[in-house]
Chains A and B, each alone.
Chain A
Amino acid sequence: MSKILVGLKRVVDANVRVRVKPDGSGIVTDGVKMSINPFDEIALEEALRIKEKGGASEIVVASIGPAETQQQLRTGLAMGADRAILVQTDTAPEPLAAARIFLKLIEKEDPAIVLFGKQGIDDDNNQTGQMLAALWNRPQATFASKIELDGTRARVTREVDAGLETIEVDLPAVFTADLRLNEPRYVKLPEIMKAKKKPLDTLALADLGVDTTPQFRTLKYEPPAAREKGTMVKDVAELVNALKTKGLL
């Protein structure tokens, strides 16, 4: 039976109002809530559902990040994953390096399905799954909103600009989850206790023999340009007038 590998990235929680540090060196992360990237939670939920329907035997969650990422992996285990792998590093790898690291994990784990989120809500890159599929020389089905497995193949509905697109891919393959693939379950307390006993292996990035030298240099962070303060109108007539004044009606 087959294995599913799920990528869980540790990111600033989606509800945090992100602020740029005054010196422009990054964003404020001190004391800020960190979570599993929301798309990755959806990816994991999908893996759990596949396993619950008998479509997989084991779910391995993996993350590349600092030691604290254990928290997010434990949450993944509490959601129902069987095993976790942390590739520990204090410097966040660029997507290509992350894909190379995941390729190493694939060589070890031999999964039939790799499930990622479509994008990390930190850098909004939307790259790692596609890059991994390329390096692995396997199919990719990005922006998935429905995954139907059929033996050695999968039919995936994708959310594209034009609406919905369906493709068929041979397994093994990489899928990236979109928002409407499913709604992730809540973790219950007993599961959090159980998760503490599940295996979580830590690998040192240096031991994997992957080139993670960054290619890009981030020179500075800035807050986005603010929009000018607008005006409030009190009724529809004023609204219509305001639009006419601006030449929009």
Chain B
Amino acid sequence: MAKILIVAEHAGGKLNQATAKCVTCAAQIEGAQIDVAVFARDAAQLAAEAAALAGVTRVLRVENAANAEPLAAVLAPQVAELAKGYTHVFGPSTTFGKDLMPRVAALLGVGQLSDIMVVESPWRFRRPVYAGNAVVTVEAPEDRILVATVRTASFSAAPQRESGQAPAPVESASVSVELPTHTRFVERSAPTTGRPDLQTATRVVSGGRALGSAENFQMVHRLADKLGAAVGASRAAVDAGYAPNDLQVGQTGKIIAPELYIAIGISGAIQHLTGIKDAGTIVAINKDPEAPIFEVADIGLVGDLFTILPELEKAIGA
């Protein structure tokens, strides 16, 4: 029977939704026991959040002052130690999981499967390659631990347990492994607040190079605010300094699946498209009728964004 360990991701004392998405992925493996491990300085609150998720069998608290910040070099030996006895170890395909899980795999002497998008069987999965230009079906060996990352855009978040259902039991786990001191956390840029989070937002408005300046990019922010949407950007817009790096959508930015995605002045390079393939409705506004973004757009509007955006803002109203 599958015994799955999920490494929880959290920030600012809250569980990242990516964790609940990993639970959904794991739950697609029939009859799986699903344990969630929370590594933190103080994991009580986080563990309670994880224990409230439907599908979770057990929550493990691994508390240590060294776990205050998510440093892969510090976490990996602990995850590897905890992983013994499990058949699968999953982490989210976020920068946290991508940094950590291969290090865990190597410590265990096993390979890693990146970006699970479909579960076909406990040992057979589908994942995208070549920026999503191809999807491969891959089979992992049954005789060793499978370390994998879960493509979060492919799974919905596991819901809360039903009212009346007891939370999953929470246990303290102690792992006795030596932790390295060669890697130290220094600082993290303050999170941009006030707007919905790009990775979980149901609506996203993204701007590209065509915006032309950081000042003009405010038009994207204004439209997003009107729609209650998160803001995204193409690589070109980020490189040009119109938007910060954490707003980049695409192969090397965030892979997202909002209900509504509005691409403004974005050409639709394959590396960008791979980040939005799972969006419900894609709207494209571009002055070039031949722009590749129109090949994937559900609704396309050809025209100059500098005349369209003010009109659109007005039409949407307050």
One of A66-74, A201-209, A232-240 at the interface: A232-240
Across the two chains, which residue of chain A brings its CB closest to B185?
A167
One of B37-45, B168-176, B243-251 at the interface: B243-251
Smallest CB separation, A219 vs chain B (Å): 4
B294 contacts which chain A residues (CB < 8 A)?
230, 232
A14 contacts which chain B residues (CB < 8 A)?
271
Indicate whether A133 reaches chain B with its CB closer than 8 angstroms: yes
Across the two chains, which residue of chain B brings its CB closest to A234?
B301
Q: Are B73 and A140 in contact (CB under 8 A)?
A: yes
CB < 8 Å neighbour of A130 from B72, B189, B283: B72
Task: Give complex CA distance A64, B281 in Å.
Answer: 42
Q: Are A222 and B129 in contact (CB under 8 A)?
A: no
Task: Give complex CA distance A165, B124 in Å.
Answer: 35
One of A54-62, A92-100, A107-115, A186-194 at the interface: A92-100
A179 contacts which chain B residues (CB < 8 A)?
235, 239, 252
Task: Give complex CA distance A145, B203 in Å.
Answer: 28
Indicate whether B82 reaches chain A with its CB closer than 8 angstroms: no
B244 contacts which chain A residues (CB < 8 A)?
163
Q: Are B129 and A130 in contact (CB under 8 A)?
A: no
CB < 8 Å neighbour of A142 from B72, B245, B283, B297: B72
Q: Are B259 and A121 in contact (CB under 8 A)?
A: no
Task: Give complex CA distance A209, B251 in Å.
Answer: 35
Indicate whether A170 reaches chain B with its CB closer than 8 angstroms: yes
Interface size class of A (residues with CB under 8 A): 35 or more
CB < 8 Å neighbour of B114 from A12, A127, A164: A127
Smallest CB separation, B29 vs chain A (Å): 17
B residues 194-233 touching A (CB-CB < 8 Å): 199, 203
Q: Are A160 and B95 in contact (CB under 8 A)?
A: yes
| Per-position 1/0 for B277-306, Cβ under 8 A of A | 100011100000000001011111111000
Q: Are A140 and B72 in contact (CB under 8 A)?
A: yes
Q: Are B182 and A169 in contact (CB under 8 A)?
A: yes
Q: Are A18 and B296 in contact (CB under 8 A)?
A: no
Q: A217-B138, A221-B136 are in contact. List 19 more A-B contacts (CB 8 A).
A: A18-B130, A27-B130, A96-B105, A96-B110, A127-B112, A130-B99, A142-B72, A142-B99, A161-B246, A166-B186, A166-B187, A170-B183, A179-B252, A218-B136, A224-B134, A227-B298, A230-B300, A231-B298, A236-B312
Q: Please provide the 6 A-B residue pairs with the shortest distance between their CB atoms, ordered closest to farther.
A: A134-B106, A130-B102, A131-B106, A127-B102, A163-B189, A230-B298
Interface residues in chain A, defined as those with a beta carbon under 8 Å from any beta carbon in chain B: 12, 14, 17-20, 27, 94-96, 99, 118-119, 121-128, 130-135, 137-143, 145, 155, 158-170, 173, 178-180, 215-224, 227-228, 230-240, 242-243, 246, 248-249
